[in-house]
Structure 1
């Protein structure tokens, strides 16, 4: 009788990890037939050994030698070694000696090690890494380590295995390719067929091979390298496979992002029984015990053991609790609120981001399965109540139209083809028509040239809703791609009011200075009263605020559009680099390596990566490592001649790097070139104006705190003068005046004054700013203008 997963039930749950369990493996046997040891590795940076005790497993040892999360565990049975691979780019090996003790650490990969297997020689391993290479490690009896590098993949090597009969190695990667290698490291064969990343490989008898990946397909390859069978059933990424030889050589289990564990007969291609659904989003890893039991590691931090032996199955209470958790997960996967799946709704983390306008509402999915509605009011998300169904009734009762669970004043039908049905375009009165049009174009992948046509269609058909002029996007406007204000090249804020600026790429309020990191709804977070002193300024201004979730979302969007040859990476690279957005980022070589990889993206997709870079370089140690190994200025300076988005992020990078000695030394070494490029920017958003002014201000702070150099003062003054010729944002004008004011207090102050007063346009602008108050936001600019004119 063929085995079936239908006969398996939960045996026990192993609780101990505080974060995702990314890896599980089966280690040596306990004496006297007491069963086998389970080893689990987690994002919490630890590996745990679980020893059998009756029908349970007890935590017996915690290994904590890695500096970052554990991504893979392999047990080299011939040597009785536990081998753990980590995001810290190392492999730790533990030998059995009154338990397991550290033997050595393998170093050499330059990024996360994400796959391990036994190699062809005794005391040898093969590893796969995000650095696009695999390595065959040989460890002598004396502890000497040598290796052979397998180089050829164009992206991360996610999977490795061996074919002992053929004396070959096999690797699979994020470039969708599978390579065969000789024992000497020579590339022998390329297999193509997967349409997404290859995540796991198993070498089978008769030199056949099993592979799976992000395309949710398991492929069976014969000895000639032909894909002769496909196993379909998973509905999302397949992360791992394992043989269950206790049930037969042809039995394999798999797990993935669809929350399931599945069992297959790889010879017939049939699925053996119904999948076991887990109460977790990701089932990261799977392993099989010699007694046929199956072990899984999940994103909820739990290790689970399943068995078909009734005597080893959990008690009724435990099974009932598991079934309830699974039912909750199943309902979350299918339940809808007003036509929107609950699982598509954001979690509580969505409440960490500011709203885009007063009265904005948001549905949020909570861990207990409930959905609650919140409203943005006076700078806070306020709970409205529970959401139990559609949020507005019918068109007749509410005057609204429901589209994908949200209420709109209008839901237009738009015909884009004579052969295709019309598509929906939702719109609310008071919304910027160009915002709605841009969101519509992005969602349906339409040509950008349609923007004005769609926006004007909305204006014409929305009963006279007032259009918004493109060059004057209001502060509440949100870019449909990033959540920030729409950036229009060459536009400016003609009414000179800068309060309420929203960052055009991350959706955050305008960045605060280093002395106040609170994100507020206005640019002027360091408010200066009209009677206060405006210069000299001695505290460097830095751009610190960041909505990491939006940056990550944007990078994922771009990454999905790339091919491996363009620089597409695994999600772990994105998750590694996003750690650099933390308020006080640590020097993490893995995160830095991920950043370097992403900085090679096409220029059109570079701005979110540059946004992370400007946060990372605030840390002098990070800046120094980055500059010494990859030349910080060599990375950013070329982008000053690029797109407006890249210009903005690079100028912020430069401003932030001036906050420490290492950054000032590098920037000042090429200051004439940098200022020439920045001064060549003659138009841009309020955010770009503020970034340029802040860069100049920070350069002048360095001059006031150190020995002022006449040539630097002259160069900066020229740059500020050029900025004041076109800048209209109040905060940018204010910081420009502070920069000039700083220089008037240095020994080269008279040269600065002479240089400024010789430009009639700038003097007229200063007089205007100092004599015509335009409300509260103007007061400090008015006061600073008067102070600067007095200094002249």
Structure 2
């Protein structure tokens, strides 16, 4: 039976990169067995993922390049990891190394392709500088190279024909060249109508190529294109052989958001394509076991398997399918001639403007697009962007200029007697910086700066039509009016269990003072205090009280502020069940309520912290609306919202997807949490639990020094003001956890000796303070003994 992509399902998603994953590769075998996955990103890092059961754990992050990673190649004979970058260099690492064995320098621009050479310890590279190079590295580290010169534009693809002892290169000039070992040009293949992006050497001296013309071409030994494989609707970025399924099986991916499988001998497409919830699927590779790995513009590495035992749970696959459905609806949606899903999200408003009057179009989680203007140190809402849909671009909208990709390439008339000058521009660049570069590149007068920059602004945004914004401030994250932190919030003494939201007992996250506090796990003095390996979650909830508060607030707000029908309130209450299930209707209702004014948001956030305990719910919410962009702004809000957001974060750490997503922004999150200097006992416990859960993730996975450092700093800040014994106990458990990790020991040793930390431990160890004193005394003595 012929292989089919229909049999492949999502196996797992590897979350760790903060930007596009531009390159993936299959590495060598890990010490535990199983093949490593290598990934490179626009965030300038390369990550090694080692197999662990049916998942992969990030084991090493390499950060030696100064710009984004464009290609990764694993040289099997030497066990070298080779990374190519936009910084014009190639770094070579040993598989178990942390610093480059050697760095190859000499290319004049981005190195965008790599392959093994004809001889041992050799590589061939392709670059935007229009050349390829064959590098030879001696045992002593001496480097020699032969330049392959002849392309008229960037060399995007390279390959080696071992049987023929030849090199092959493909470029943005639409040409494919054959070369001998001396660097002499032997043959020219023409057929592609756009940039050649990938090459694969096949048996019998045949060749497979792909490119921006969305076609895969099969070339025979005589250099004739005997077969065209059509199916992609946009640029093809990458191809890979899947030898586990047969020598004739190849997979490809590209700008149409799809992964496809082919029989290159018959030209048949094998099964339906797998659509990704991302604009660009930049790279693809295949593992020895037949699994397929992709890297995408959403920063995610995905593994697909045809083996049921290696496929993800039904809930995770359903979440992926829902994200794909959302992507389908977005693919053809444009506004003002610009694809909506290419616009930045609200996080773009966290960066200051570069000049007075600068404008930005921002895509919001609800699908709306708004325009903001930088005025007097703030991004002010100008209005809604109301451009029409339709008129889809034949390509991705990326234009080629000198073999490189740009969103726009303008013709600028400088003189009546000279041809227009090309002005390349990428959306998201500062127009004034792009104009300045254009002026320097073409030796133009500096007086042209404003004129060129305004030309870019006018033509890159297609003059979108704006609906004027209402008078007054509008929160760019929620759409609500400005709220003042601390309003609608009663001062609550530390240690009490008064309702932190109303000061009354109508809706409380804790029981009466005569009962044990909610969400606290008591430990006997003789029990083991650390390391702790079970995540702590906040599960207790009185659904009737939450619903009562939701109804109260819903009756107080207007339709324009988000007033909804009672059916939506009843829908979200389903998430308060002990084991919430993924229900799309309830999730949509929750998204609607999360747009309520900040002063009335705490019961909605309370439901959110219960919902995100379910990994599938978290995945769908994060893929469609970015979980952290929803909750992080409220860490600077009222005490009520702070409490619920921190509980959300603590609960999200209970599963892999949540941990990986939160860790990407952990320093920012801890900086905000550490800024909280006072609060109720419940808030103290929430903060301590969040830190404890982060340390649990470190002792169960590969501990990272930078994580240990920021967590330690956060715990120390909490111990400065926390009075609640349970919060202090969990804080000390977090410290204890870190002492069991190699990278945490040094950090803890530096901090634990600080006077006020030692004084705090002695105070808690020697002074009885209530019913919880026994376990606090015990854990404090254990920590003092350790140091």
**TM-score, normalized by length of structure 2?**
0.50
The structure with the largest alpha-carbon Rg is 1
